[in-house]
Amino acid sequence: MRERRALVAYRDKDVFERARSAFAADVEFIDVRAGRDAGPSPGPAVPAFGTGPETLRVVDAVMADTPFAHVVSTSESNLAFAAFLRDRYGLAGLTFGQALTVTNKWRMKQAFRGALPSAECWLSGDFVERVGRRAVPEQVVVKPLSGSSRMGVRRLPATEAAAYLRSRGELMVVEEALDLDGELHCDGLVSDGRLTALIPSAYDRPALRPSGLNLASIHLPPTDDRWRLATGAAQAVTRLIDTRDFVFHLELLQCGGELYFGEIGLRPPGGGRAESLRRFFGFDCWQAHVGLQLGRLAEHPPPRVRDDYCGVVGVAADPEREGEPGRFSPDDLLAVPGVVNVTPGSSRAYAQARLGSSAAYTHLVFFQGADMADAARSLAGIAELTRG
């Protein structure tokens, strides 16, 4: 029975619920919740997904009462925690050391600097000591040591960044700020050491560049020059990952004709991008991600090849202004040429987007166009309609 049980570091996500339903007949899931996700639940609750004694006491009690053979991460925020538990109990899957290289941004820069050019980077204490004593970039990007969706990420002049870091008293990562021409990303699957799925995409603008709260992800056809650049970069980066089976989301930065390493996560993308990959390419990265952690990865057909431009726009609308003159409805979005579907996002998305999340949206708008000009017209129509 132990082999059929899996402990889940639970987050309330529709995409996860749909993915794990494919395994429900064969797997008994034990959900463990933390923080605001604790709520009413048949499963146990912990103060946080971490290595604190109270959390470990609760999880140890689960292992003692109903032994499990698998640990399932549902978010980048609990991927390292799930890996720590696997190490603690001697279970198969991503180890804690492997997880650190894809969740700790300082360790990540060290692990992948040989694959692609990378912005100069420091731990915050080292950076603060340099300011005023040694040369530093005029502009830097300050990031939490771990995290996703651009939360807590700021671009600041170097002297302001030093003052900000002193006031926080928190270990962070500081990077040289690149003047970006664009930002690409790749989503895919490595199975038994082979890159079996890869879909390159481009954001309509660099995610840190102010331009409202919308952000589009545009999937690129092989005829686009960026497709070749992103594919080569993904192959170089994934070869350095010390595990043979994983789903990944890779961020790449275009600057001065060169492609730079941004970040990589061993998890599906957020902001509706996973659903876009499933809708347009038949690549179910959430089902693959869950299946890998259960040791039950089914055969996945290769993604469909498309010669058009398609993707998803995340729209962050103020729910308190719904229904006001000039505001939009899902039907209004569907009337924009090229839009093929609109689905609801999160009720908390508007507030999260204003705090800096790049994956928090009240509406997900799926579009397609025969060429980049068609896609650009769709994006312009969506932007005009949703401008606050």
Shared-domain flag, residues 213 and 351:
yes
pTM for this predicted structure: 0.91
Q: Which residues contact 62 (CB under 8 A, 6 or more apart)?
A: 7, 30, 32, 44, 68
Shared-domain flag, residues 74 and 210:
no
CATH number of the CATH domain containing 48: 3.40.50.20
At 223-266, the pLDDT tens digits run: 999 999 999 999 999 999 999 999 999 999 999 889 999 999 99
Shared-domain flag, residues 247 and 355:
yes
- The residue out of 158, 176, 194 marking a domain boundary is 176
DSSP state of 133: T
Shared-domain flag, residues 272 and 142:
no
| Residue 124, pLDDT above cutoff 90 | yes
At 60-118, the pLDDT tens digits run: 999 999 999 999 999 999 999 999 999 999 999 999 999 999 999 999 999 998 899 99
The answer to whether position 361 is within a domain reads: yes
CATH number of the CATH domain containing 326: 3.30.470.20
| Residue 275, pLDDT above cutoff 60 | yes
Across 355-384, average pLDDT: 84
Kindly indicate the confidence band of residue 165, based on its pLDDT and cuts at 50, 70 and 90: very high
The answer to whether position 110 is within a domain reads: no
Q: Which residues contact 293 (CB under 8 A, 6 or more apart)?
A: 6, 70, 71, 72, 73, 82, 93, 94
Quick check: 112 and 261 in contact, CB under 8 A?
Answer: yes
The answer to whether position 113 is within a domain reads: no
Shared-domain flag, residues 298 and 266:
yes
Shared-domain flag, residues 345 and 285:
yes
Give the CB-side neighbour count of residue 231, counting CA atoms within 13 A. Answer: 15
Q: Between the CA of residue 6 and those of 94, 224, 245, 329, what are the distances in Å?
A: 15, 42, 18, 40
CA atoms of 166 and 163, how far apart (whole Å): 5
Which residues constitute the domain of residue 253? 182-386
pLDDT for the residue numbered 330: 86
Strand pairing category for 182-191 and 121-123: unpaired
Give me the residues paired with residue 367 across strands: 311, 339
Quick check: 176 and 130 in contact, CB under 8 A?
Answer: no
Residue 257, exposed/middle/buried by CB under 10 A (0-12, 13-18, 19+)? Answer: exposed
Across 320-346, average pLDDT: 78
